[in-house]
Structure 1
Amino acid sequence: MNIMLKEVLEREKTILKNLYSLYLHDLSKFTSQLDIGEDGCFEYDGLDEFWETEGLSPYFINLDSNIIGFILLVERPVLKKDYDLGVNDLFILNKYKGNGFGRQAIEELFKVKKGKYFVIELIENSPAVSFWKRIYSGLDIQFEEKQDVVDDEQCLIQTFTIK
Protein backbone atom coordinates (compact mmCIF):
# COMPACT_ATOMS: atom_id res chain seq x y z
CA MET A 1 0.00 0.00 0.00
CA ASN A 2 1.51 3.27 -1.18
CA ILE A 3 0.85 6.72 0.25
CA MET A 4 1.20 9.56 -2.25
CA LEU A 5 0.53 13.27 -2.12
CA LYS A 6 -1.35 14.67 -5.09
CA GLU A 7 -1.92 18.37 -5.63
CA VAL A 8 -5.65 19.14 -5.52
CA LEU A 9 -6.82 20.55 -8.84
CA GLU A 10 -9.42 23.30 -8.88
CA ARG A 11 -11.89 20.96 -10.57
CA GLU A 12 -11.55 18.69 -7.48
CA LYS A 13 -12.55 21.51 -5.11
CA THR A 14 -15.87 19.86 -4.20
CA ILE A 15 -14.06 16.73 -3.00
CA LEU A 16 -11.79 18.84 -0.81
CA LYS A 17 -14.77 20.85 0.46
CA ASN A 18 -16.54 17.64 1.50
CA LEU A 19 -13.42 16.30 3.23
CA TYR A 20 -12.86 19.66 4.91
CA SER A 21 -16.36 19.51 6.40
CA LEU A 22 -15.47 16.14 7.95
CA TYR A 23 -12.21 17.60 9.26
CA LEU A 24 -14.04 20.54 10.85
CA HIS A 25 -16.54 18.11 12.37
CA ASP A 26 -13.66 16.25 14.02
CA LEU A 27 -12.07 19.54 15.13
CA SER A 28 -15.35 20.81 16.62
CA LYS A 29 -14.81 18.39 19.51
CA PHE A 30 -11.91 20.59 20.68
CA THR A 31 -13.29 24.11 20.18
CA SER A 32 -16.52 25.99 20.71
CA GLN A 33 -15.87 28.18 17.66
CA LEU A 34 -17.05 25.66 15.06
CA ASP A 35 -20.73 25.10 14.35
CA ILE A 36 -22.59 23.25 11.67
CA GLY A 37 -24.12 25.38 8.93
CA GLU A 38 -27.77 25.58 7.95
CA ASP A 39 -27.06 23.12 5.13
CA GLY A 40 -25.84 20.50 7.61
CA CYS A 41 -22.16 20.94 6.73
CA PHE A 42 -19.22 22.58 8.41
CA GLU A 43 -18.08 25.33 6.07
CA TYR A 44 -14.65 26.81 5.45
CA ASP A 45 -15.11 30.14 3.68
CA GLY A 46 -11.49 30.47 2.55
CA LEU A 47 -11.32 27.32 0.44
CA ASP A 48 -11.36 29.18 -2.89
CA GLU A 49 -8.22 31.05 -1.86
CA PHE A 50 -6.20 27.87 -2.34
CA TRP A 51 -6.51 28.30 -6.11
CA GLU A 52 -6.41 32.10 -6.11
CA THR A 53 -3.39 32.76 -3.88
CA GLU A 54 0.15 31.67 -4.65
CA GLY A 55 1.60 29.93 -1.61
CA LEU A 56 -1.55 28.11 -0.47
CA SER A 57 -1.19 24.50 -1.54
CA PRO A 58 -3.77 21.74 -1.03
CA TYR A 59 -2.76 18.09 -1.41
CA PHE A 60 -4.84 14.94 -1.31
CA ILE A 61 -3.36 12.05 0.62
CA ASN A 62 -3.88 8.98 -1.55
CA LEU A 63 -3.61 5.37 -0.48
CA ASP A 64 -2.99 3.64 -3.76
CA SER A 65 -5.73 5.31 -5.86
CA ASN A 66 -8.10 6.20 -2.99
CA ILE A 67 -8.25 9.61 -1.33
CA ILE A 68 -7.94 9.12 2.43
CA GLY A 69 -7.26 12.69 3.55
CA PHE A 70 -5.56 15.97 2.80
CA ILE A 71 -2.80 18.37 3.77
CA LEU A 72 -3.19 22.11 3.37
CA LEU A 73 0.25 23.68 3.17
CA VAL A 74 1.12 27.34 3.50
CA GLU A 75 4.28 28.42 1.66
CA ARG A 76 6.05 31.49 0.40
CA PRO A 77 5.08 34.08 -0.78
CA VAL A 78 2.13 33.95 1.69
CA LEU A 79 4.64 33.36 4.47
CA LYS A 80 7.15 36.08 5.05
CA LYS A 81 10.65 35.98 6.47
CA ASP A 82 10.46 33.67 9.50
CA TYR A 83 9.16 30.47 7.90
CA ASP A 84 9.21 28.72 4.55
CA LEU A 85 6.31 26.31 5.16
CA GLY A 86 3.44 25.66 7.52
CA VAL A 87 1.19 22.64 7.80
CA ASN A 88 -2.11 24.48 8.05
CA ASP A 89 -4.34 21.39 8.21
CA LEU A 90 -3.82 17.64 8.13
CA PHE A 91 -6.72 15.21 7.95
CA ILE A 92 -7.00 11.45 7.67
CA LEU A 93 -10.39 9.75 7.43
CA ASN A 94 -11.23 7.93 10.67
CA LYS A 95 -11.24 4.56 8.89
CA TYR A 96 -7.53 5.00 8.11
CA LYS A 97 -6.31 6.58 11.35
CA GLY A 98 -3.87 4.63 13.48
CA ASN A 99 -2.25 2.83 10.56
CA GLY A 100 0.74 5.15 10.05
CA PHE A 101 -0.70 6.79 6.93
CA GLY A 102 -0.52 10.29 8.41
CA ARG A 103 3.12 9.78 9.23
CA GLN A 104 3.82 8.42 5.74
CA ALA A 105 2.11 11.47 4.22
CA ILE A 106 4.26 13.80 6.33
CA GLU A 107 7.38 11.87 5.34
CA GLU A 108 6.41 12.27 1.66
CA LEU A 109 5.88 16.00 2.23
CA PHE A 110 9.28 16.38 3.90
CA LYS A 111 11.00 14.60 0.98
CA VAL A 112 9.87 17.27 -1.49
CA LYS A 113 9.38 20.37 0.66
CA LYS A 114 12.48 21.43 2.59
CA GLY A 115 12.83 24.47 4.83
CA LYS A 116 11.79 25.99 8.12
CA TYR A 117 8.32 24.78 9.16
CA PHE A 118 5.71 25.66 11.71
CA VAL A 119 2.80 23.54 12.93
CA ILE A 120 -0.04 24.82 15.12
CA GLU A 121 -2.37 22.60 17.15
CA LEU A 122 -5.19 23.48 19.50
CA ILE A 123 -3.96 22.64 22.99
CA GLU A 124 -7.23 20.78 23.61
CA ASN A 125 -6.67 18.60 20.52
CA SER A 126 -4.61 15.95 22.31
CA PRO A 127 -4.71 13.49 19.36
CA ALA A 128 -3.08 16.09 17.08
CA VAL A 129 -0.55 17.10 19.73
CA SER A 130 0.37 13.43 20.29
CA PHE A 131 0.57 12.78 16.54
CA TRP A 132 3.05 15.60 15.97
CA LYS A 133 5.16 14.65 19.00
CA ARG A 134 5.40 11.10 17.59
CA ILE A 135 6.43 12.54 14.20
CA TYR A 136 9.20 14.60 15.77
CA SER A 137 10.43 11.70 17.86
CA GLY A 138 10.18 9.08 15.11
CA LEU A 139 11.93 11.23 12.51
CA ASP A 140 14.45 12.63 15.01
CA ILE A 141 13.33 16.21 14.38
CA GLN A 142 14.57 18.83 16.82
CA PHE A 143 11.77 21.32 17.40
CA GLU A 144 10.99 24.35 19.49
CA GLU A 145 7.56 24.77 21.06
CA LYS A 146 5.64 27.63 22.55
CA GLN A 147 2.09 28.37 23.59
CA ASP A 148 0.18 31.28 22.10
CA VAL A 149 -3.33 32.44 21.33
CA VAL A 150 -4.24 32.02 17.65
CA ASP A 151 -7.72 33.08 16.48
CA ASP A 152 -8.85 33.31 20.13
CA GLU A 153 -7.75 29.71 20.83
CA GLN A 154 -4.94 28.44 23.07
CA CYS A 155 -2.50 26.70 20.76
CA LEU A 156 0.85 24.98 20.68
CA ILE A 157 3.21 26.15 17.97
CA GLN A 158 6.16 24.00 16.99
CA THR A 159 8.93 25.13 14.67
CA PHE A 160 11.60 22.99 13.05
CA THR A 161 13.77 22.71 9.95
CA ILE A 162 13.73 19.95 7.33
CA LYS A 163 16.95 19.78 5.29
Structure 2
Amino acid sequence: MKLELVPVQREEKEILRNLMEKYDYEFSQYDDRDVNALGLFGYDYFDCYWTEDGRYPFFIKADGKLAGFVMIGNYMEIFPEAKYNLAEFFVLYKYRRAGVGTFAAKAVFDRFPGVWELKYHPKNLPSVHFWDKVIRENAADIVCIPDCSAAEYDDGINGTAYRFTTGQK
Protein backbone atom coordinates (compact mmCIF):
# COMPACT_ATOMS: atom_id res chain seq x y z
CA MET A 1 0.00 0.00 0.00
CA LYS A 2 1.36 3.40 -0.99
CA LEU A 3 0.92 5.88 1.87
CA GLU A 4 1.13 9.67 1.60
CA LEU A 5 0.76 12.70 3.83
CA VAL A 6 -0.65 15.47 1.61
CA PRO A 7 -1.26 19.11 2.62
CA VAL A 8 -4.93 20.08 2.43
CA GLN A 9 -5.40 22.89 -0.09
CA ARG A 10 -7.89 25.70 0.49
CA GLU A 11 -10.17 24.34 -2.25
CA GLU A 12 -10.26 20.98 -0.40
CA LYS A 13 -11.53 22.42 2.89
CA GLU A 14 -14.99 20.90 2.54
CA ILE A 15 -13.52 17.43 2.09
CA LEU A 16 -11.64 17.82 5.37
CA ARG A 17 -14.74 19.28 7.06
CA ASN A 18 -16.70 16.17 5.98
CA LEU A 19 -14.03 13.86 7.40
CA MET A 20 -13.99 15.86 10.63
CA GLU A 21 -17.70 15.19 11.13
CA LYS A 22 -17.02 11.45 10.92
CA TYR A 23 -14.13 11.86 13.36
CA ASP A 24 -16.25 13.88 15.82
CA TYR A 25 -19.12 11.40 15.54
CA GLU A 26 -16.78 8.57 16.46
CA PHE A 27 -15.11 10.59 19.24
CA SER A 28 -18.48 11.49 20.80
CA GLN A 29 -18.57 8.01 22.34
CA TYR A 30 -15.69 9.16 24.56
CA ASP A 31 -16.46 12.82 25.31
CA ASP A 32 -20.31 12.77 25.19
CA ARG A 33 -20.55 15.75 22.81
CA ASP A 34 -23.86 16.48 21.15
CA VAL A 35 -24.47 17.76 17.66
CA ASN A 36 -25.63 21.34 17.11
CA ALA A 37 -29.06 22.44 15.83
CA LEU A 38 -27.97 21.58 12.28
CA GLY A 39 -27.06 18.03 13.27
CA LEU A 40 -23.33 18.72 13.01
CA PHE A 41 -20.52 18.72 15.54
CA GLY A 42 -18.56 21.57 13.95
CA TYR A 43 -15.02 22.62 14.76
CA ASP A 44 -14.50 26.14 16.10
CA TYR A 45 -10.97 26.56 14.75
CA PHE A 46 -11.47 24.95 11.35
CA ASP A 47 -11.05 28.05 9.17
CA CYS A 48 -7.99 29.11 11.18
CA TYR A 49 -6.01 26.41 9.36
CA TRP A 50 -6.16 28.59 6.25
CA THR A 51 -6.07 32.04 7.85
CA GLU A 52 -3.40 31.75 10.56
CA ASP A 53 0.29 30.92 10.34
CA GLY A 54 1.46 27.84 12.20
CA ARG A 55 -1.51 25.60 11.45
CA TYR A 56 -1.06 22.66 9.11
CA PRO A 57 -3.84 20.35 7.86
CA PHE A 58 -2.94 17.13 6.04
CA PHE A 59 -4.82 14.31 4.39
CA ILE A 60 -3.57 10.79 4.92
CA LYS A 61 -3.88 8.86 1.66
CA ALA A 62 -3.59 5.13 1.02
CA ASP A 63 -3.19 4.14 -2.61
CA GLY A 64 -4.49 7.59 -3.54
CA LYS A 65 -7.68 7.26 -1.45
CA LEU A 66 -8.56 9.31 1.61
CA ALA A 67 -7.59 7.34 4.72
CA GLY A 68 -7.72 10.08 7.36
CA PHE A 69 -6.23 13.41 8.37
CA VAL A 70 -3.78 15.12 10.70
CA MET A 71 -4.07 18.68 11.98
CA ILE A 72 -1.08 20.39 13.57
CA GLY A 73 -0.97 23.74 15.31
CA ASN A 74 1.51 25.99 17.08
CA TYR A 75 -0.78 26.92 19.98
CA MET A 76 -0.05 25.19 23.27
CA GLU A 77 -2.60 24.20 25.86
CA ILE A 78 -0.33 22.47 28.35
CA PHE A 79 3.39 22.83 27.63
CA PRO A 80 4.36 26.41 26.65
CA GLU A 81 7.84 25.27 25.60
CA ALA A 82 6.44 23.00 22.89
CA LYS A 83 6.61 24.12 19.27
CA TYR A 84 3.89 21.89 17.80
CA ASN A 85 0.52 20.63 18.99
CA LEU A 86 -0.93 17.51 17.43
CA ALA A 87 -4.46 18.92 17.47
CA GLU A 88 -6.44 16.26 15.58
CA PHE A 89 -5.55 12.84 14.20
CA PHE A 90 -7.95 10.47 12.48
CA VAL A 91 -7.60 7.27 10.51
CA LEU A 92 -10.71 5.79 8.90
CA TYR A 93 -11.65 2.49 10.47
CA LYS A 94 -10.91 0.51 7.30
CA TYR A 95 -7.24 1.56 7.48
CA ARG A 96 -6.59 1.00 11.17
CA ARG A 97 -4.17 -1.65 12.33
CA ALA A 98 -2.57 -1.59 8.86
CA GLY A 99 0.30 0.81 9.63
CA VAL A 100 -1.46 3.89 8.24
CA GLY A 101 -1.61 5.76 11.54
CA THR A 102 1.98 4.91 12.40
CA PHE A 103 3.08 6.11 8.96
CA ALA A 104 1.20 9.40 9.37
CA ALA A 105 2.53 10.05 12.87
CA LYS A 106 6.12 9.38 11.80
CA ALA A 107 5.66 11.51 8.68
CA VAL A 108 4.53 14.56 10.67
CA PHE A 109 7.25 14.04 13.28
CA ASP A 110 9.85 13.91 10.51
CA ARG A 111 8.39 16.95 8.76
CA PHE A 112 8.20 19.01 11.96
CA PRO A 113 11.12 18.06 14.21
CA GLY A 114 11.12 19.65 17.64
CA VAL A 115 9.17 19.70 20.87
CA TRP A 116 5.58 18.46 20.62
CA GLU A 117 2.46 18.53 22.76
CA LEU A 118 -0.24 15.88 22.45
CA LYS A 119 -3.21 14.84 24.56
CA TYR A 120 -5.63 11.96 24.43
CA HIS A 121 -8.86 10.97 26.13
CA PRO A 122 -8.34 8.06 28.56
CA LYS A 123 -11.59 6.35 27.48
CA ASN A 124 -10.29 6.12 23.91
CA LEU A 125 -8.30 2.95 24.53
CA PRO A 126 -7.16 2.43 20.93
CA SER A 127 -5.69 5.95 21.05
CA VAL A 128 -4.07 5.27 24.43
CA HIS A 129 -2.27 2.20 23.11
CA PHE A 130 -1.41 3.79 19.76
CA TRP A 131 0.12 7.01 21.11
CA ASP A 132 1.96 5.36 23.98
CA LYS A 133 3.68 3.04 21.49
CA VAL A 134 4.29 5.57 18.67
CA ILE A 135 5.70 8.23 20.99
CA ARG A 136 7.94 5.75 22.79
CA GLU A 137 9.32 4.49 19.43
CA ASN A 138 9.78 7.88 17.72
CA ALA A 139 10.58 10.49 20.33
CA ALA A 140 12.98 11.45 23.09
CA ASP A 141 12.73 13.57 26.25
CA ILE A 142 9.26 12.16 26.88
CA VAL A 143 7.11 13.58 29.67
CA CYS A 144 3.73 11.96 30.31
CA ILE A 145 1.14 13.44 32.68
CA PRO A 146 -1.86 11.15 33.25
CA ASP A 147 -5.04 12.79 34.59
CA CYS A 148 -3.79 16.23 33.52
CA SER A 149 -6.25 18.98 34.50
CA ALA A 150 -4.88 21.25 31.76
CA ALA A 151 -5.95 18.56 29.24
CA GLU A 152 -9.60 18.47 30.31
CA TYR A 153 -12.16 17.36 27.72
CA ASP A 154 -15.72 18.64 27.21
CA ASP A 155 -17.08 15.85 29.42
CA GLY A 156 -14.96 17.04 32.38
CA ILE A 157 -12.54 14.11 32.21
CA ASN A 158 -8.86 14.95 32.37
CA GLY A 159 -6.82 13.65 29.47
CA THR A 160 -3.31 12.30 29.38
CA ALA A 161 -0.79 14.88 28.18
CA TYR A 162 2.53 14.23 26.49
CA ARG A 163 5.50 16.47 25.80
CA PHE A 164 8.21 14.93 23.64
CA THR A 165 10.92 15.78 21.15
CA THR A 166 11.22 14.41 17.64
CA GLY A 167 14.12 14.54 15.23
CA GLN A 168 16.70 13.39 17.78
CA LYS A 169 16.51 9.60 17.49
TM-score (norm 2): 0.86
Q: Which residue pairs with 2:114 in the alignment?
A: 115
Instruction: Confirm or deny: 8 A CA contact 1:58 1:70 kept in the other structure.
Output: yes
- C-alpha change, 1:81 and 1:29, in structure 2 (3 Å) is closer
Structure 1 residue 111 displacement after superposition? 1.8
Q: Deviations over 1:31-88 (max 9, x none)?
A: 12x112333332213211111111111111111211110000013xx45951111111
Partner of 1:26: 26
RMSD: 1.8
**2:45 maps to which residue?**
46
Corresponding position: 1:157 with 2:156: no
Following TM superposition, by how much is the alpha carbon of 1:125 offset from its aligned partner in structure 2, in angstroms?
Answer: 1.5
Give the number of aligned pairs: 160
The whole-number CA distance in structure 1 between the counterparts of 2:92 and 2:4 is 15
SS state at 1:67 partner: strand
Distance 1:140 1:73 in 2: 17
* Partner Cα separation in structure 2 for residue 97 and residue 112 of structure 1: 22
Equivalent residue number for residue 84 of structure 1: 83
Question: Tell me, which stretches of 5 or more residues in structure 2 are unaligned?
Answer: none
Aligned to 1:138: 137
Instruction: Tell me the amino acid that sits aligned with residue 12 of structure 1.
Output: E
SS in 1 for 2:28: helix
Q: Specify the SS of the correspondent of 1:138.
A: helix
CA distance, structure 2, for counterparts of residue 154 and residue 81 of structure 1: 18
Q: Name whichever of 44-53 and 16-25 sits farther off.
A: 44-53
- % same residue: 26
Q: Which moved more, 1:113-122 or 1:37-46?
A: 37-46
**1:134 aligned partner, one-letter code:** K
- Shift in Å at residue 29 of structure 1? 0.7
What secondary structure is seen at the aligned counterpart in 2 of 1:25? helix
Residues 59 and 69 in structure 2, CA contact (< 8 A), matched pair in contact too: yes
2:66 pairs with 1:62: no
CA distance in 2, matches of 1:81, 1:37: 32
> Are the structure 2 counterparts of residues 81 and 67 from structure 1 closer, same or farther at C-alpha, using a change threshold of 3 Å?
same
Q: Which residue number in structure 1 is paired with residue 12 of structure 2?
A: 12
Q: Which moved more, 1:38-47 or 1:49-58?
A: 38-47
Inter-partner Cα distance in structure 2 for 1:137 and 1:53: 31
| Structure 1 stretches lacking a partner, 5+ long | none
